[in-house]
Amino acid sequence: MSAIALRDLSVRVAGHDLVRHVSLEVAAGSWCTVIGPNGAGKTTLVEAVAGLRSLASGEVALDGEALASMSGRERARRVSLVPQHPVIPAGMSVHDYVALGRTAYHGVLRAPSSSDHAVVASVLERVELTSFRDRDVVTLSGGERQRMVLGRALAQSTMVMVLDEPITGLDLRHQMTMLEMLRREVDDCGLTVLATLHDLTLAGQFADRLVLLDHGEIVLDGPASEVIRSDELAKRYEMELRVVEINGSDVVVPVRDARRGPSPLSTEQ
C-alpha cells in the first residue's frame, strides 16, 4: 500500500484549474520530488496533500485512508508540512517552537508529557539545534531557522512529510545540510517525503523519483536519473539544458544561447 495516493486530483481557484486530474502514488519510505516551471501547480499539489487546499474533485489518501475523513488533529498525526514561507513568531524559544509539533498529541490545554519532551529533545539533536534550544527564534540565521522548521515537522512524528521549497533562501552549504538531514530521515527512519524543489541538480541527487508538473498536469514521472536526462525537461522549461556527470552525480546546466534559442536537453559524460 502506498503511503500517499492521489486519485484524479483537481484543485480549482477562482475558476482556474491549478491542478488537473493528477493521479500519483508514493511508496512508503521513499522520496518523491515534484519539479516544473513557475506556475506549474507544485505548491498547490503539496498543500493539497497536507490538507490545506479544498479539492474540486478526486481524493488524497494516506496509508489507504482518505484525508477528507480525518479530523484536523488526526491529520496532524499523519502528515507534517514544511512550508516555503513559515511564520516565525518573535519571543519564542527554539525549544518551544519545535515543541509545537507535539500539540496534536497533548492538545492545546494540556501540558506536554515526559514523552513529548523526550521527542523534542531527540529532534533538536537530529537537526543539530540542541545548543540553540533556549535562543529566541528571531536570532537564528536562515539555515538555523529552516532546520528549526524541519524540527517542528519532525516532532509531529508523522511518517509522511510534505515540503514546499525547503531550501529557499539558503546558501549552498545550508541547502546541502538541510537535504542531507531529510535524506537521513528517509533512509534511517522510513520517512516518506513529497517535496518541491526548483534546483534540478539537487532534486535529481536527493530524490528517488521525480515528477515533472506543467500547467497542473503530470507530464513525466520516473526515476530521478531518467527524468533529469529526458528531452521533455528542456521542453517544459523552454530552454537548452545540459546534463554533466560529475563523480557519479548528474549536474543540470542551463545554457545561454540567444542565437539558437531553446533546444532539447543534451547529455555529456
Average pLDDT, the chain: 92
Residue ranges, CATH 3.40.50.300, the chain: 4-228
257: left (phi over 0), alpha (psi -120 to 50) or beta: beta
pLDDT at 151 over 70: yes
pLDDT band (50, 70, 90) for residue 262: low
Topology given in CATH for the domain delimited by 4-228: Rossmann fold (3.40.50)
* pLDDT tens profile 22-56: 999 999 999 999 999 999 999 999 999 999 999 99
The pLDDT, as a whole number, for residue 106 is 82
* pLDDT tens profile 180-231: 999 999 999 999 999 999 999 999 999 999 999 999 999 999 999 999 999 9
The pLDDT, as a whole number, for residue 183 is 96
pLDDT band (50, 70, 90) for residue 264: low
The pLDDT, as a whole number, for residue 268 is 46
Q: How far are the Cα atoms of 7, 37, 75, 113, 212 from residue 80, in angstroms, in the given order?
A: 20, 25, 8, 20, 23
E strand or H helix that includes residue 89: none
Q: What is the pTM of this model?
A: 0.90
* pLDDT tens profile 81-123: 999 889 888 899 999 999 999 998 887 667 788 899 999 999 9
pLDDT at 7 over 80: yes
**Strands across the sheet with 79-82, in order?**
79-82, 160-164, 192-196, 31-35, 209-214, 217-223
Average the pLDDT over 238-254 and give the result: 91
Strands (E), the chain: 4-13, 16-26, 31-35, 57-62, 65-66, 79-82, 160-164, 192-196, 209-214, 217-223, 240-246, 249-255, 266-268
DSSP code of residue 111: P
The pLDDT, as a whole number, for residue 110 is 72
Strand duo 65-66 + 57-62: pairing: antiparallel
